[in-house]
Amino acid sequence: MSMFEPTRPRFGGGVAAGAVRIFDTTLRDGEQAPGAGLTAAEKLEVARQLVRLRVDVIEAGFPSASPGDFEAVRRIAQETRGGIAVAALARCRDGDPQRAVEAISVAERPHLHLFIATSDIHLAHKLRMTREQALDEAVRWVGWARKTLGRDAEIEFSAEDASRTEMDYLLDVYEAVTEAGASTLNIPDTVGYAIPSEFGRIVSAVHDRVGDAATISVHCHNDLGLATANTLAAVQAGARQVEVTINGLGERAGNASLEEVVMALRTRPAQFPDLAASVATDQITAASRLVSYLTGFAVQPNKAIVGANAFSHESGIHQDGVLKNPLTYEIMTPQSVGLAGSTLSIGKLSGRRGLQGKLRELGYEVEGEQLDAVYRAAIQLADTKKDVTDADLIALVEQKKADVPRSIELLGWSISSSSGGHSVGSASLVVAGEAKAGDATGNGPVNALFKAVDAAILPVLGWNPVLTEYEIKAVSGDGDAQGQVLLRARRSSDEGHNALIVTGHGLSTNIIEASLEAYLVAANKLHGAEINGIEVAFVGRRTVEEVP
């Protein structure tokens, strides 16, 4: 069994004294962003990066949502070590807590996260419960968890939609669950309704009621663009755990962004004395790129901390100031978040060590077989195009990191097209050990080749991929740029709202090759899920109520 280990020691298996605890929910709330679904293997890859980032808690998923989510949580719990807790979410409803406990029982530091809605609008229209009934359920399941997991286990309770809950009732709930055994009280701004001054008062009131009997946590959504501001206001009011996601990914407008909250705590120490998190901030850029790549959610160029323009200066006045002293227009260094301003270039005469150094400057630690694979791809690319750009290298690394087991292999393809006419495509493949070939006519070369692949796959597997989304973009702005294809697909045998949908990526200076690569990656993911018995519907997969 492999283990994830932080690259540097932690403080006594937990957070440093006085530090704010970083609870990363990219793999749970982040994955709830429509279209952002991840396979179990992809979740594991993100979890590895979160360990390198040295977050304090990884909320790995919602085990009762699906068998696939249960399996992903269990695998992450089994392999994550080094003092990092693994959390699982559960409703205060029979079946959910038991399933969550089963998933995290193998964790070095299990962290059970229970929740129930407390606002009148949720109680009346979603749960159809009275306040008293919701309070009774909260106390019942927190008490069950404490008895089941023992005195030292981390048990967190969230009052969903806390920011719209009547204050006296909210305080009664938090006091009652603390007495029942909750060690962390989470205050979710579930619909992003609060403003910082208001949210700070809520946190202060909860802190005043329970004192030091429990850690106060906050979970802020970005519907009004205030998630980071509300989170920081909460820290100043006494919160000592913040629930955040990489790139601010999450439901609707997303969650508080890990990189924004962490760098604000670190950049403004006078405002947050002795509260900087123990996160390895030089891993932030690598985490951002990995999550963006695997989910297919691009980071906007003007995104704070991790956007392409975050450390770019175009104005002549700004350029002059930065050249004289970067502090004139930069409040943090690019290196502090894993970036560097190197001028190293990579070409066909470059060696592995030079490539490794360049990748390190771009925020990647690549060694061994992975380095060899990226090196071969980079040299092959250098033979094809004049300049291998930073963007080319980033795309190559992300593609190699996301390689999936291949039960469907492409042996060769050909295409014939003419102006104004249909395209005719042929593809030769090995499908689950059987050599197969397919021919098809389509509206264009990509469409014809996809149909040819389908013709080869269908007789063996009984299904073929069906596109739900297809996107092409240039990796860089040069004339011989690589084309990057992102697509999403489901099995033709799956219908309806809960169909399994996976992403596929392809990268090549030939856009047809890139498209075929992406299509086959998706096909292999679909087949892998089928043979492993993991049936997770990633888009619209939740059949449960809204969660914090």
Burial 292-329 (b: 16+ CB within 10 A, else e): bbbbbbebeeebebbbeebbebeeeeeeebbeeebeee
Local structure of 38: helix, strand or coil: coil
The rounded distance, in Å, linking the Cα atoms of 110 and 60 is 11
Structure tokens at 302: 């003007």
Structure tokens at 214: 């429990």
Answer yes or no: are the C-beta atoms of 427 and 413 closer than 8 Å.
Answer: yes
Closest by alpha carbon to 526, among 498, 497, 489, 495?
489
Edge-first strand listing for the sheet containing 423-431: 408-416, 423-431, 434-442
Per-residue pLDDT of the chain (548 residues; tens, 9 = 90+): 344 444 333 222 334 446 899 999 999 999 888 788 888 889 999 999 999 999 999 999 999 998 889 999 999 999 999 999 999 999 999 999 999 999 999 999 999 999 999 999 999 999 999 999 999 999 999 999 999 999 899 999 999 999 999 999 999 999 999 999 999 999 999 999 999 999 999 999 999 999 999 999 999 999 999 999 999 999 999 999 999 999 999 999 999 999 999 999 999 999 999 898 889 999 999 999 999 989 988 888 888 888 877 766 545 555 456 556 666 767 777 778 877 643 345 666 667 777 787 787 677 888 888 888 888 888 877 776 666 777 778 777 876 666 677 899 999 999 998 877 689 999 999 999 999 999 999 989 999 999 999 999 999 999 999 999 998 877 765 656 778 888 889 999 887 666 788 888 888 878 898 899 889 989 988 888 877 654 443 333 433 444 56
Structure tokens at 225: 């663009």
The rounded distance, in Å, linking the Cα atoms of 445 and 99 is 48
Angle at CA of residue 105, ends 133 and 160, nearest 5°: 30
Q: Enter the DSSP assignment of 419.
A: T
Local structure of 194: helix, strand or coil: coil
Q: What is the tally of helices (H) and strands (E) in the chain?
A: 16, 14
Q: Enter the DSSP assignment of 126.
A: I
Structure tokens at 499: 């169909």
Residue 88 half-sphere exposure toward CB, CA atoms < 13 A = 33
Local structure of 296: helix, strand or coil: coil
In 221-275, beta strands by DSSP E: 241-244
Local structure of 525: helix, strand or coil: helix
Angle at CA of residue 146, ends 99 and 178, nearest 5°: 120
Structure tokens at 261: 């909250």
The rounded distance, in Å, linking the Cα atoms of 456 and 474 is 30
